[in-house]
């Protein structure tokens, strides 16, 4: 086992867990926030299991997924806006629960949790299909175009899964206002895709032909 990689992975995992707890429970003013506990469980338990699997079977993929240092200036702004979006959405969800602005019924939280888990399953499939998957926009050595499975339906199935994950989170937390905030993810992701496809067309052989073959970027028959 790569001890350095394990240490990096567990540090980021615990940091994310602590940050999520602070952003949800502090604004809520209580630990008795069922939606927050539900989200934390279905977010971090599968994440921990997936990390262990990648650590054993594909450490290079895990290393790429942990790397968030973007070289592209345009992508740095995308990361900044995404972070601000999540910060606002989580804090507003906690405040919404604390002050009882608009509390969604419990069945919506459970239905959204099912959608979230579906998104996680699709996320795992994308990781299985694309061994070059990275959190940064780059063309890697010996990288090839993946055009099978989910990549035969949309060009960016990872972003398709993140849409399911991110848009279901505020509903799990029971907050309409947070859901409206996360709708900002659409223009954020559109900007990232424009830059990413320009990089791939320039540096990845066969990507232009792949774009002609697979028409939709994120949502089949829509976008």
Is 223 inside any structural domain? Answer: no
How far apart, in whole angstroms, are the C-alpha atoms of residue 42 and residue 29? 22
pLDDT in tens, 43-97: 999 999 888 888 888 787 777 777 666 555 666 778 888 999 999 999 999 999 9
The confidence score (pLDDT) of residue 54 equals 82
Is 30 inside any structural domain? Answer: yes
Domain with 66 in it: 3-213
pLDDT in tens, 129-161: 887 776 566 676 678 889 999 999 999 999 999
Is 111 inside any structural domain? Answer: yes
Is 222 inside any structural domain? Answer: no
Is 221 inside any structural domain? Answer: no
Is 39 inside any structural domain? Answer: yes
CATH code (residue 139): 1.20.120.1630
- pTM, 2 dp: 0.90
Q: What is the CA radius of gyration of the chain?
A: 18
- The number of domains in the chain is 1
How far apart, in whole angstroms, are the C-alpha atoms of residue 132 and residue 134? 6
Is 145 inside any structural domain? Answer: yes
Is 102 inside any structural domain? Answer: yes
pLDDT in tens, 188-216: 999 989 988 998 898 888 999 999 999 99
| 197 HSE (CA, 13 A, CB side) | 18
How far apart, in whole angstroms, are the C-alpha atoms of residue 215 and residue 155? 8
């Amino acid at each position: 086992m790569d001890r350095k990689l394990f240490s990096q992975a567990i540090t980021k995992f615990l940091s994310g867990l602590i940050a999520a707890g602070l952003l949800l429970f502090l604004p809520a003013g209580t630990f008795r926030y069922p939606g927050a506990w539900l989200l934390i469980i279905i977010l971090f338990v599968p994440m921990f299991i997936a990390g262990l699997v990648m650590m054993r079977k594909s450490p290079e993929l895990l290393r790429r997924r942990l790397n968030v240092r973007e070289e592209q200036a345009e992508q740095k702004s995308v990361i900044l806006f995404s972070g601000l979006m999540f910060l606002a959405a989580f804090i507003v969800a906690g405040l919404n629960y604390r002050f009882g602005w608009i509390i969604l019924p419990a069945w919506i939280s459970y239905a959204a949790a099912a959608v979230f888990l579906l998104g996680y399953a699709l996320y795992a499939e994308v990781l299985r299909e694309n061994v070059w998957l990275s959190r940064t926009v780059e063309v890697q050595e010996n990288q090839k175009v993946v055009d099978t499975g989910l990549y035969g339906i949309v060009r960016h199935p990872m972003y398709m899964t993140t849409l399911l994950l991110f848009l279901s989170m505020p509903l799990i937390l029971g907050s309409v206002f947070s859901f409206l905030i996360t709708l900002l993810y659409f223009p954020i992701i559109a900007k990232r895709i424009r830059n990413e496809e320009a990089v791939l067309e320039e540096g990845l052989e066969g990507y232009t032909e792949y774009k002609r073959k697979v028409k939709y970027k994120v949502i089949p028959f829509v976008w």
